[in-house]
Amino acid sequence: TQLQGRQKWPKSRGPEIEMGALVLLKEDNLPPLRWQLGRVMEVSTGKDGVIRVATVRTDRGVLQRAVRMLCPLPIYE
């Protein structure tokens, strides 16, 4: 018998964050209806080429957040 080869981590990481995307900023201490709305102004990649940090403009100013703390809104043009 032979074993099937499996990858340790799945390739898909969910939706990619792009510049200009409309996102919600997750906050652990707030319910989802109170999360801030913002637009991605810039993205920064890590050494491995994966997007790790995004600069987001909100009504309260410009913030930097980890991509895992952003929820992209599904807006189709």
Instruction: List, for residues 6-29, the tens digit of each pLDDT value.
Output: 878 766 666 678 899 999 999 999
Instruction: List, for residues 20-59, the tens digit of each pLDDT value.
Output: 999 999 999 999 999 999 999 999 988 988 889 999 999 9
Whole-angstrom distance, CA of residue 8 vs CA of residue 71: 25
pLDDT at 12: 62
pLDDT at 40: 96
Say if CB 44 and CB 54 are below 8 A apart.
yes
**Eight-state DSSP code of residue 3:** P
Q: Is the pTM of this model over 0.85?
A: no
Say if CB 45 and CB 18 are below 8 A apart.
no
Which residue, among 14, 13, 65, has the nearest Cα to 37 in the 3D structure?
A: 65
